[in-house]
Amino acid sequence: MHASARFTVRYGAELTFAGGDLRPERISVPTRHGWVGVHIYRPAGAPIVGGPAYVHFHGGAWLMRYPQMDEFWCRYVAATARVTVYNVDFRTGPYVAYPVAQHQCHDVAAWVAALGGPVVVGGFSSGGGNAASVCLQARDEGSFTPVLQVLGVPALDLATEVPPGAGMISPSLRALVRRVYFPDPATRSEPYASPVLAPDLTGLPPAVVLTAERDTLRRDGLRYVERLREAGVEVWHDDTPHADHYLLSADLERARTTMAETARRIAAAVAAQSAADPASGTPPVDGWRRTSAPATALSEGRPTPPSRSASGPCSPSHRPTRSPTS
C-alpha cells in the first residue's frame, strides 16, 4: 500500500480550491520513535519559525503512509486560514504497530507548539482518530494545549466491530487494520487507540467534527460529539447528507461551504488565542536552524533522538533539517 499510494490515491484532486501556488517544504522532527518527516505549507507573510499553526494527520487506515493524499486540504487551510500547516508523515503498519503513529503525531504537534504560537490539530479518517488521540495525550501529559481539534470522518473506536453494509469502510478492512496495526486486542480499547472509549473527556479543546450520512464510521463521530458535549466541550458538528467516507467529494458546492466554515473556525481559534496571549505568537530566537542535509534521510547516519526526560524531542532546541520538495 505504501509503494502504490501515489498511483492509486486520487481523492482530493477536484478539491484544490485554494493554495495551489504554495510550494511545500519538508523538515524532519525528532520523536520518541525516531525522526519524522513533515511537509510544511506556509502562506505568504507567515513567520519562518512559530506563529499560528495547523498540524495535520493524514488518513489511510494506519496502513498507508502517504501524507500527500490530504495535500488539497493542507493547501486550502494555509491559504484561507492564514496559518502555517504541518502535514505529518508518521509511520504506519506493517512496519510499526500501535501506539507508534499516535506517539509520533503527538510529539510533532508538541514540537510545533514549542516553537511558539497557537496550534490546531486535525485529520481525516484514521488521521482524525490520531488528532483526537493527540488531544488526549496532550491533556494527560500537560505537554501543550491545542486551541481546536478538527476531526473529519474520524475512526474513534477500534474495539468495536463495524456493521456490514455497502460503506467504504468494510468489516474486512477493519479486520485488516486490527491485525496489522492493532495486533494486541487488549490495546484496542485504550483511550489513545479508541478516543470515544476514554473514560474522561473533560479538559479537551473545542472540536469541529465532520461526519457523512452513509459512512460506516459515522456512529464514531456522533458518539464522540455527544460525549464531548456531555463533558462540557464546545463542538461544531456538520453531517454531509447522502455521502460516504469521502464526504467532500460527494457534493463539491457543499464541500466548498464545509471547508470554508472549518477554515474560518481554525482562523478564529488561533486569533482568539493570540489576542488572549500575545506572547504565544512570539517564536523563541533559537527555535530553528536551516541546514543543507536532505530532509528525506531520516535513518542512516542520524543521531538517536533525545529522550523525553531530557529537554525532550518536542523542544525546539532539537532543530530539524529542512529542504524544499515538490
Strand order, beta sheet including 119-124: 235-240, 207-212, 148-152, 119-124, 53-57, 84-89, 34-41, 25-31, 322-324
Taking each continuous run of H as one helix and of E as one strand, the counts in the chain are 7, 9
pTM of the model: 0.85
DSSP H or E segment with residue 28: strand 25-31
Q: Tell me how far the alpha carbon of residue 17 is from its chain's centroid.
A: 20
Tally of domains within the chain: 1
25-31 and 34-41 as β-strands: parallel, antiparallel, unpaired? antiparallel
- CATH number of the domain residue 44 falls in: 3.40.50.1820
Query: Would you state the pLDDT for residue 290?
Result: 33
For 274, what's the count of Cα atoms within 13 Å in the CB-facing half-sphere? Answer: 19
Cα distance from N-terminal residue to C-terminal residue, the chain: 22
What lies within 8 Å, CB to CB, of 228 at 6+ separation is 201, 204, 207, 209, 235
What residue spans of 184-251 are helical by DSSP H? Answer: 218-230
Say how far apart CA 68 and CA 39 lie, in whole Å. 9
Torsion 168-173-178-182 (CA) sign: negative
Query: Would you state the pLDDT for residue 19?
Result: 83
What lies within 8 Å, CB to CB, of 296 at 6+ separation is 26, 37, 323
Written as nine digits, the cell of 58 is 493524514
What residue spans of the chain are helical by DSSP H? Answer: 5-8, 71-81, 100-114, 126-141, 171-180, 218-230, 252-276
Phi/psi at 238 (5° precision): -130, 125
- For residue 258, give the amino acid letter: T
What does the pLDDT profile of the chain (326 residues) look like in tens digits? 555 555 445 566 788 878 888 999 999 999 999 999 999 999 999 998 999 999 999 999 999 998 999 999 999 999 999 999 999 999 999 999 999 999 999 999 999 999 999 999 999 999 999 999 999 999 999 999 999 999 999 999 999 998 887 789 999 999 999 999 999 999 999 999 999 999 999 999 999 999 999 999 999 999 999 999 999 999 999 999 999 999 998 899 999 999 999 999 999 999 998 887 766 554 443 333 333 233 333 333 333 333 443 344 444 444 444 443 33
Within 10 angstroms of residue 171's Cβ, the number of other Cβ atoms is 14
Say how far apart CA 308 and CA 310 lie, in whole Å. 5
Q: Which domain holds residue 83?
A: 5-324
